[in-house]
Amino acid sequence: MKRCTMYDVRCTIVSLLLMFSVSAFAQSNLTYELKVGTAEENKLLTDFPESYAGQKVNITIQIVPLTETDLDFVFVHEGPVNGFDSIFAYTDESAVVWTVWRNNKPIKNRAQRVMVGNAYGTFEAYLHEQVDARHSQGWIWWLLAGLVIAGTAMYGGYVVYCRRKEKNLSSVEQEMLRRKRMGLRRHYVSQAYLWLLLLVLYAPIALIAVFSFTKSKVLGNWTGFSMDLYANLFTGKADAGLNSAMLYTLIIALIAAVCSTILGTLAAIGIYNMRARSRKMVSFLNSVPMINPDIITGISLFLLFVALGMSQGLTTVCIAHVVFCTPYVVLSVLPRLSRMNPNTYEAALDLGATPAQALRMVMLPELWPGMLSGFILALTLSVDDFGVTFFTKGSGGLETLSTFIYSDARKGGLTPELRPLFTIILLVMLTVLIYINIRNSKQEEK
Amino acid sequence: MNKIIQIASSRRTWAWPYVAFMAMFVVLPLILVGVYAFTDIQGHFTLHNFAKFFTHSEAIQTFLYSLMIAVFNTVICLLIGYPAAYIMAQEDFKTPKVMAMLFILPMWINFLLRTVATVELFNMCGLPLGEGALLFGLCYDYLPFMIYPIYNTLQKMDNSLVEAAQDLGASRWQSFWKVIVPLSMPGVYSGVVMVFMPTVSTFAIAELLTHNNIKLFGSLIQDYITTTDLLNYGAVLSLVLLIIIGLTSFFGENDTANEEKGGLV
């Protein structure tokens, strides 16, 4: 009994300490000092890749004073941004560079593009939004502290309740209860561990999903509920780059999935009928693209296209995607083949069918499920790929969603319509996975 | 015509297009990495690029730093992932399938977008970006790769072995360290390989998570390979990475193969 109480006291102390440290930490991080100096102070150019440092840059710098007390000036460089072209790729838009200083050290330096007078409001409104976003970040720590307090209080209440109830029991019964509680505690601690892990794993995703319902340009700044981003996404009012990236992602994924399904299915049939030694060799060859990290696949293909003198674009990206998708198709078709009766195909040939007919009427119906799962796998792999696409897309302006997000993020901002897009993808994936799970468990019951 | 039908009806030949395709777009490119590494811009044989690598302190430092980050990340993923997999594989855990699905689901979201969201989360909480953010982001991206293989081996493990150990007087800790951990080693090996390989070759994530302050080997390769004059030097760096990857997968495979054989005996 005594040991148990000590444990509870320890628990309470630890959670109180945790709470205080969290709130203290929050306090120390809330004192942001936004200060922007001259171009030299900001070392505007050194923040960008070395290769641009030597180039002549033509920037006009405009200082915009804001009424916010802790924000003195914000640098805005406008107009022709020749030197920055490769970084921003927005010659017709303005960009803002801002630095957050703490203890006279720049801790954050961001270049963010600003759209003047478009759907997201004026330039000044945008700057205010930025400042608001910085101000409103305190709530998350208060939320955490509140959760910890509530949890501690609930646990303490539960312990007191248990003590009251057990007062009149014999020592043997108390010991039994103690053991039971130890087991329960182990159970709860392990459950809590998993849920905590999931909470951390889902926090960034939840952030995207929640902020897809507000119009704010900056992720993390709530400006009221709005479905505008969804509307923009579906009516094509979103960023033109995003629209073409979505289109190209779909086109490339479909081409790659269709080609790799056909190639992979034929290959699987061939591999299945090979002799052991050559089968082993081809299987090894098949596993090479799966072992290779995408950067190696991308670079090696890039070198091949350079050596062949091929201009890089849609074709090269499609070829590259077929390369890393096909092995997975082969692997999903092979198990269907080993389950199939090998004699049916020969029987069809003996009965006078041509190989094509036998393939279409005997083999395909059997292999269909494997081909379908291979096709879906290829589709998702292709949509998700970044590394290989990045090296094979060339410089002709071809972007898929991944590379679009990459160049967008490097500029500092994130096109707001990406938020609803990925919320939808997440929901669709969740539905599909739950459906598959339910179907599998039903099949197991049978 | 007859001969064509004969060839087509021997189904062995159906893999030929695939083999030719792979030879062209998998084997040849990998050979080309080596060829480019040993030649200069004009295409003459040279060892100059290798000499440059061994005297180029930035490249060597970045390489060692990336290896260190990858090892750290693998260890962190193992320390966080093993308990999670262990808990999920317990017999009294009621919803392992749902839990496994929940751990896999984030991987269906584009990893770059997840990384950007992580950056925004750090910004929102007022946490500085840097090494800590890099490790958090990497761990966040690759943790499911660690949990899943370990969970699979633990789940397939024969629970009566643990019961036997406890019947013979082993404590909970002893049975965990002497029975469960050795038996789950194949899963740990494949988890380690699956986390280490992408981390050591990672690019793009690092620059987003650290605002371009920390450069990993992958980003270095990317910088050189996309610069026309330095393409050959980039090929040398890729070759170094390729060797690391080859070694890792070789060791990983060997170990798992041995463990599986041991398991069969």
- Reported as a single tens digit per residue, the pLDDT across A345-370 is 888 888 888 877 887 888 888 888 88
Q: Which amino acid is at B169?
A: G
Q: What ipTM was reported for this prediction?
A: 0.85
Confidence check: pLDDT of A98 > 80: no
Cα A223 to Cα A90: distance, rounded to the nearest angstrom: 26
List chain A domain ranges. Answer: 33-114, 240-414
Q: pLDDT at position B2, please?
A: 63
| CA A39/CA A58 separation, integer angstroms | 13
Quickly name the fold that domain A240-414 has: MetI-like fold (1.10.3720)
User: Under an 8 A CB cutoff, do B140 and A201 touch?
Assistant: yes
Contact A304 B25 (CB under 8 A): yes
What is the predicted pLDDT for the residue at B161?
Answer: 86
A309-321 pLDDT, tens per residue? 888 889 999 999 9
Stretch 192-251 of chain B: residues touching chain A, C-beta under 8 Å: 197-198, 201-204, 207-208, 211-212, 218, 221-223, 225, 227, 231, 234-235, 238, 241-242, 245, 249
Q: Which CATH number fits the domain B57-264, given the four candidates 1.10.1060.10, 1.10.10.10, 1.10.3720.10, 3.40.50.300?
A: 1.10.3720.10
- Report d(CA A106, CA A56) in Å as an integer: 25
Residue B113's nearest CA partner among A143, A424, A182, A79 is A424
Average pLDDT over residues A392-414: 80
Q: What is the pLDDT of residue B6?
A: 60
Disruptive mutation site among A98, A195, A280, A296 for chain B (greatest number of B CBs within 10 Å): A296
Residue A51 has pLDDT above 50, yes or no: no
At A1, the pLDDT band (50, 70, 90 cuts) reads: very low
**Among the residues of A167-293, which ranges form H helices?**
171-210, 228-235, 240-272, 276-291
The pLDDT tens digits along chain B (265 residues) read: 566 656 555 677 788 889 999 999 999 999 998 888 888 877 778 888 888 888 888 888 889 999 999 999 999 999 999 999 998 888 777 777 778 888 888 877 788 888 888 887 887 776 777 788 899 999 988 998 899 889 989 888 888 888 888 888 888 888 888 888 888 888 898 899 889 988 988 888 888 887 667 888 888 888 888 777 778 888 888 898 888 888 887 776 654 444 433 333 2
**pLDDT value at residue A235:** 82
Q: A429 CA to chain B: closest CA distance, Å?
A: 7
Pairing state between β A94-102 and A73-78:
antiparallel
